[in-house]
Amino acid sequence: MIEILIYSLIDNQIAASFIQNLGWMGDDQNYTVRLYTPGGDPQAAWGMWAKMNELKANGCRSIAKIDGMACSTGGFLLCAFDEREALETSQIMIHRATYVPQIDEKGKPIPVSQEEQAQLDIINANFKERLAKVIDNTTLIDLKGYGIDDIFDENKPRINCFLTPSEALQIGLITKIVPIDAASSQTFSKAVAACYDTKATAAKAGINKPFTKMKAEELKEQDPECYKAIEEAAVKAYKKAKAKADKTGEDDEPDEEAKAKKAKAELDQKINAAVEKQLAAIGIQKIEGQTLAQTAEAQAKLAAKAADEQKVKDAKAEANKAAMAELDKELEAITTGKKLQ
């Protein structure tokens, strides 16, 4: 299947490139256009639309995939596609066309001429006509409080009609919402294939038809309760599988605290090896059952203890010396008859 990207504003160059790419299409082929566009030139979009209609006449089928946004001209262009998908995170917006405001040399807005306004009215009339063929206007009014007539009313402020994928699906602007996580979509597809037996359903209804595959959209329309049950089961199965995968991933990854402890142990080992090498170089011998570092630490403690003991001895000797000096003074006083003051 051919896939074309429109990941930019739609202008004459993008339109020309699009038409050229589709020029290679043969008859009875499918092609996909992936959209991420804030809009652009409405008249350039008409050329793209015309080329798509030519291919449709030759049996080709077109699929639009909204990857991020399809707004303004991009939202309008959706109407040209046979199928219109949007990611559940996509943004869609439609509004009436208008001229980009122009200002003169003094910074004042340049008014639109009568001829320009007439041309703009024709563009918006064409937009409105084609949107009206696709959009359910009653549902649009229920959802937004305004309809197509309001959007294209020149006497009202311009309405930027932003639509969530769910709203766009309800009014018919898109035909399918795609989950952002592919696994969820695959799980749902498998659930439809595994759980819904169209042959059994036909037999139950008294219809004798050969077994044929049913698309999810057809199932949703014909048997919404079954569709909802399958969807819920698929989502449940997907969440369970994802939780299991997440848990497995967590178990497989090393604990951050354990990694830190391991790194510290390796660093301590390197430091100890370096210390022992230095101690061995100055002649300290290892005691059995101890590392050189432990031996050095023990020797340092003994040395400190010995130093402390020597200090005590020295202090006692000084005290005794002072006491003896005082005693000598007293004896001298007794012998000479002098009194101590």
How does pLDDT run across 139-176, given as a tens digit for each residue?
999 999 999 999 999 999 999 999 999 999 999 999 99
- Residue 225: the pLDDT is 66
Task: Name the more confident of 301 and 274.
Answer: 301
Strand partners, 85: 65, 176
2 band by pLDDT with thresholds 50, 70 and 90: confident
- Residue 181: the pLDDT is 73
> What contacts 14, CB < 8 A, 6 or more positions away?
6, 8, 40, 44
- Residue 313: the pLDDT is 78
- Residue 202: the pLDDT is 39
User: Rounded mean pLDDT of 230-252?
Assistant: 64
Domain 2-178 sits in CATH at 3.90.226.10
How does pLDDT run across 69-120, given as a tens digit for each residue?
999 999 999 999 999 999 999 999 999 998 887 888 888 888 888 998 999 9
184 band by pLDDT with thresholds 50, 70 and 90: low
230 band by pLDDT with thresholds 50, 70 and 90: low
Global pTM?
A: 0.54
Distance CA 336, CA 339 (A): 9
Between 170-179, 247-256, 313-322, the lowest mean confidence (pLDDT) is in: 247-256
Is 266's pLDDT higher than 90?
Answer: no
Query: Left (φ > 0), alpha (ψ -120 to 50) or beta: where does 215 sit?
Result: beta
- Residue 5: the pLDDT is 94
User: Where exactly are the structural domains of the chain?
Assistant: 2-178, 181-253, 257-336
Amino acid at 287: I
Is 243's pLDDT higher than 90?
Answer: no
In Å, how far are 64, 92, 141, 325 from 95, measured between CA atoms? Answer: 19, 11, 15, 113
- Residue 332: the pLDDT is 61
296 band by pLDDT with thresholds 50, 70 and 90: low
User: Rounded mean pLDDT of 334-338?
Assistant: 52
306 band by pLDDT with thresholds 50, 70 and 90: confident
